[in-house]
Amino acid sequence: MANASNISNSLKRKVSADEDRLDKLAKLAKMNQTNAVTVKLGDNPKGFRIVHRDIICSQSAYLKRVLIGQSEDRAKIDLRVEEIPLAHFDLYLEWLYTRRSTSLDKAVTSIAKVNADKPDKGCTSSEHLDHRTFHVLVDIWLVGDLLQDTKFQDQIIRAIFRIPHELRTLATKCAALRSVMLNTPDQGSKLRRACLDLMECRVVIGDVDDLEMEDWTKDIVVLLMKRLGTLVAQGDVPRDETYVEEDSAAVEDLS
């Protein structure tokens, strides 16, 4: 049962989140030509979104750096983000405005369902919705990586760990998915650590074949051997780590 302190902290976070949403609505109501940013994604003429400058820069170090040199008295500010699909950027904006994990989960599942008829990176398991969801989550994590928004990435890690453990573990069998998780992020990334833990679980129960190991990099093999050596010495089994701290506040002040 949750103690009084935890309940109090949860209520404070809810109040803070509600105040943040009201603050953002007030900002949007006052949006005009001088504080509006047009974000263009790709070459599609309809592939753009108009957002409030303060909100879009509230967490993304990349967008803040790009816009810092733009004069606030300009009639219109255009920003091009070619690498991010429109659906993924919409998901990012929805989370930025609402901060609701349930909305994030529904949006990810919706994208995964849309991808049902599309070839998914040559993955033989892509017919399964849960597996496609993993692909979407990793792709969205990389959006956070591009935008340099670590708080958003923390939410994606939480979303990954809301998926049942067995499904998370099986996802590391996918060569394309494992490659993104292990090679694209930097070696100290939370996503990489999460993937290593899941792979470690599979190694312990003997659910790894020789063909799969051929595409493991040397550093991955060394790390897993060190982990397994420690487990054998301690007589322990791998468990999921907690990769993110509890939010002390729902969102930073945008004023």
| pLDDT value of residue 253 | 42
Alpha carbon distances (Å) from 208 to 16, 74, 103, 173: 46, 57, 35, 8
- The set of long-range contacts for 207-215, using a CB threshold of 8 Å and a minimum separation of 24, is 207/169, 212/173, 212/175, 215/175, 215/178, 215/179
| pLDDT value of residue 142 | 85
Q: How do residues 222-235 score in pLDDT, each as one tens digit?
A: 877 887 776 655 55
**5: pLDDT confidence band, cut at 50, 70 and 90?**
low
Check residue 78 and report its DSSP letter.
Answer: E
**247: pLDDT confidence band, cut at 50, 70 and 90?**
very low
**250: pLDDT confidence band, cut at 50, 70 and 90?**
very low
| pLDDT value of residue 4 | 56
Q: Is the pLDDT of residue 72 over 50?
A: yes
* Lookup result for tokens 């606030």: 72
- C-alpha 92/C-alpha 86 separation (Å) is 10
- C-alpha 217/C-alpha 255 separation (Å) is 46
Mean pLDDT, range 206-214, rounded to an integer: 73
185 and 243 Cβ atoms separated by less than 8 Å: no
Share of the chain above pLDDT 70, in %: 65
